[in-house]
Amino acid sequence: ENKIKTKNPRKNKDKKKHKKDVELAKKAEQLLEFRKELPVYQHKDEVIDYVTNNQVTVVIGETGSGKSTQIPQFLMPLNSKSIAVTQPRRVAAASLAARVSEEYGCQLGQEVGYQVRFSNITHPQKTKLKYLTDGMLLRELMIDSKLSKYSTIILDEAHERTVLTDLIMGFLKQLIVTKTRRDLKIIVMSATLNAELFSKFFGNAPILFIEGKMFPVSPFYLSDSSEDIVDTMVRSVIQINLAEQEGDILCFLPGQEEIDSCVTVLTQVAPLLPKQAPLLVPMALYAALSPAKQAKIFEKLPARRRKVILATNIAETSITVSGVKYVIDSGLRKVKVWKHQLGLSTLLTTPISQASARQRAGRAGRESAGKVYRLYSEKVFSDSLPKQQESEIMRNDVVMPILTLKKLGIDDLLNWSWLEHPGQDAILSALNTLYSLGALNDSGKITPLGYKMAVLPLQPQLSVVLLTAFEFGVLSAVIDIVSCLSVDNLVLNVGAANGELRDEVNYKRRQYCPLGIRHGDLIGLKEYFNYYQELSAAGNTGELKSWCKDLHLSYKGFKNVLKVRQQLKQYMITTIKQDDSIKREERDEQLKNLEAQLGIVNLNNTNDSDIEDELKKPLDVPAVLKSFLKGYITNTAVGMPDRSYRTFNTGQLISIHPSSNLFGKSNLDAIMYIEYVYTAKGYGRSCSAIELGWIQEVAPHILGASKINVHD
Ligand code: ADP
């Protein structure tokens, strides 16, 4: 009897696996027909030829021609080791891997997989093709500077010129120039024609042009630029739906906020529109989207329905959705910019370049002739839009890049193999920041803290916060807060337009953050999170959901907080384990300490009694806030005798944001804020009340740099 019992399940399992394999193979065969139609597929032999005969090849082809999905697959049989394909965006890495695993006929995470921050869907032996973010590859470079795991590195979307892709190019060039990896193949892929730069950089590497077929796209302009972009976008969608024949609409908006507003409005009005036009089905497309929602974008809709995809810049070159015949272009995008005089980076909505506008328009002409509606005038297009977008390295701070280079032992930063040199000022400013964070010492050498920061895949400020919290013994609490901060829209914003509701929500929130009212938003987040965990440990989902709803906190957001929290714990463990700047005994000691702080025994399976124990511990508020202060020392402002606040390092006026627990308090010694926003005036968001003495305690080395007299 026993025999039968043990035999049967295995047989069943084998049978199931076999059935699954057959299904995968069938799907792959179906997709092959589609693949063969792609312009890149028709140049298969040529691609293989170029790559076989050259160490570096630059490939240029229209977006959607099949570069990212096909070229790696052509090369798979030729490679003894793995192929890495870098992507500037997380979503693109995940989406491409999902698609290519289907085309290849395997389960995602087997032969084809991906790795992005917070998830690694690969198999240690089986994975031969890995899509990963440029940040992840750079991290691997740090651990293994020869990239010995790989026989081919493909840098995709090189035209985007992200800092990280630029840096990787610098490193790859050194691997080639120093002849460290004669066997390594490098492919730089770009969607735009200005690829000369890449070719020149790699000693005049050959350029392979792949011609795609493109249908004409006729442009339409507004006579005046629009004031309210959401309103204009919605109107245009409705008009096109009424006037134009079938075909989906792709709308480019600057960011998630505008996209969400448009989706909300369109969802409300769609059922009310005249029935002779197709039913509008709005869908959002941006980087922070869940994989499930992302997959929906590619689904075919039933007849008499029209997809309206509301997207950020991500749909410009990295994600291609078929069926689009109409493009509506707001002419805007969000970019991260470095504000020199404030010493902070912020997201800023800016006009796109002419090259981007053409690229966006091109998305309408992939399958047949299309139309582009530009929500600005023709004059704006020709006279005010810049011809090309500035590269990120020229626009942004180079703090992380410089720390990375320092860690890799590169001291002469001014003469390093920069694809595009960021300039002396930017380099010096980054060195300054790293110095004030304690990552570099007086002589510019990387410190033990700097080593650990370079390994943590987080903003340098956040890394410092976590590492300091570890030192102060409050890592667990600080990880909770950082996780809450990292999730967008956890504490939902009730706009000023909703005055009464806002007061009510604020009143309710205050009941749950007694400490937060005194100490500010970071401590408040920890209190919300504690309450969430208490309810969640009690297993009462209903109560939990209604509590979230009452306080306008995102229930789903908390789920993400939990995920990020696990990940951060894991990162800390990996970082300490990998720290080869300290002796083994010291490392073991630190690991023990880490385990004690995080309760590692139950890292993957925190049970209820653990949570209770944790919640019973009193919160060491000063230690928590000082940990944050160490990372955000430049984000501090001092209370002035006239009851205003002035930033510590530049002496500018700054106010507490109305969304803060501390809003209206004008008599605090000093404040620390996590984020700076500028609307009508400068505001600090996520504020905490701090003591002046802490600044001196935490960062004595920067006191002299202040523009205001702290002892006034
Ligand atoms: P390129 O890299 O040249 O921009 P891709 O290889 O990304 O081109 O895309 C080739 C084709 O594969 C596109 O037409 C696109 O529609 C299709 N495709 C890519 N990713 C997916 C996906 N996740 N689901 C369905 N189709 C996809």
Q: Which atom of ligand 1 is nearest to the CA of 321?
A: 16
What is the phi/psi pair of residue 33, to 5°?
-60, -45
Say what the pLDDT of residue 343 is: 40
Ligand 1 pocket member 190 (CB < 6 A): no
Rounded to whole angstroms, the Cα distance separating 6 from 235 reads: 65
CA neighbor of 59 nearest in space, from 383, 538, 48: 48
DSSP string for 206-224: -EEEE------EEEEE-SS
Closest ligand 1 atom, residue 318 Cα: 4
State percent of the chain over pLDDT 90: 59
The verdict on the CB of residue 74 being under 6 Å from ligand 1 is no
pLDDT, one tens digit per residue, over 296-313 is: 888 889 989 999 999 998
Residue count (the chain): 712
Measured from the Cβ of residue 501, the count of other Cβ atoms closer than 10 Å reads 12
Rounded distance between C-alpha atoms, residue 709 and residue 712, angstroms: 6
Closest ligand 1 atom to 212 CA: 3
Give residue 461's pLDDT band: very low, low, confident or very high (50, 70, 90).
confident
For the entire predicted model, the pTM comes to 0.67
* Residue 493 CA, ligand 1 centroid: distance in Å: 36
pLDDT at 337: 64
Position 341 confidence tier, pLDDT thresholds 50, 70, 90: very low
Q: Tell the residue nearest (CA) to atom 25 of ligand 1.
A: 298
pLDDT for the residue numbered 410 = 86
| Residue nearest to ligand 1 atom 17, measured at CA | 320
Q: Are 109 and 64 in contact, with CB atoms under 8 Å apart?
A: no
Please choose from 42, 99, 189 the residue to mutate so as to test ligand 1's pocket, defined by most ligand atoms within 8 A of CB: 99
The pLDDT of residue 68: 96
Q: Is 163 helix (H, G, I), strand (E, B) or coil?
A: helix
Q: Examine the pLDDT at 289 and tell me if it is beyond 80.
A: no
Q: What is the pLDDT of residue 1?
A: 45
Phi and psi of 371, rounded to 5°? -135, 145
Mean pLDDT estimate for the chain: 88
CA distance 200 to 184: 19
Q: What's residue 252's pLDDT?
A: 97
Average pLDDT score over residue span 344-359: 81
Would you place residue 344 in the very low, low, confident or very high pLDDT band (cuts 50, 70, 90)? very low
pLDDT at 467: 95
* pLDDT tens digits for range 523-580: 999 999 999 999 999 998 999 999 999 999 999 999 989 988 998 898 899 888 877 7
Alpha-carbon distance of 612 to 624, in angstroms, equals 20
CA–CA separation, 295 and 302 (whole Å): 16
Region 350-372: mean pLDDT is 91
Q: Hey, whose CA ends up nearest to atom 18 of ligand 1?
A: 320
The answer to whether 122 and 106 are in contact (CB under 8 A) is no
| Ligand 1 contact, 39 CB (< 6 A) | no
Q: What distance in angstroms lies between residue 69's CA and the mean position of ligand 1's atoms?
A: 6
Atom of ligand 1 nearest to the CA of 98: 23
Mean pLDDT for 78-106 is 94
| Separation of alpha carbons 213 and 45, rounded Å | 19
| Number of the ligand 1 atom closest to the C-alpha atom of 63 | 4
Residue with the larger pLDDT of the pair 617 and 279? 279
Give ipTM to 2 decimals.
Answer: 0.96
pLDDT for 379 equals 93
Q: Are 129 and 96 in contact (CB under 8 A)?
A: no
DSSP H stretches of helix in 37-89: 44-53, 67-75
Strands 670-678 and 636-639: antiparallel
Q: Does the structure show a pLDDT above 50 at 84?
A: yes
Spatial CB neighbours of 107, under 8 Å, sequence gap ≥ 6: 20, 24, 101
65 in contact with ligand 1, CB cutoff 6 A = yes
The pLDDT-based confidence of 72 (bands split at 50, 70, 90) is very high
Asked whether the predicted pLDDT for residue 7 surpasses 90, the reply is no
Report residue 553: phi and psi, to 5°: -110, 150
Ligand 1 centre to CA of 325 (Å) is 16
Q: Is the pLDDT of residue 604 over 60?
A: no
| E strand or H helix that includes residue 124 | none
Predicted confidence band of residue 708 (pLDDT cuts 50, 70, 90) = low
User: Ligand 1, from 27, 33, 35, 69: best to mutate by most atoms within 8 Å of Cβ?
Assistant: 69
The amino acid sitting at 589 is: E
Q: Where are the beta strands (DSSP E) in 352-431?
A: 370-374
Taking residues 124-147, what's their average pLDDT?
Answer: 91
Q: What is the pLDDT of residues 641-682, one digit of tens each?
A: 999 999 988 899 999 998 899 999 999 999 999 988 887 889
| Residue with tokens 């890995």, as numbered in its chain | 130
Regarding the beta carbon of 101 and ligand 1, being less than 6 Å apart is answered no
Kindly give the pairing relationship between strand 129-133 and strand 112-116.
parallel
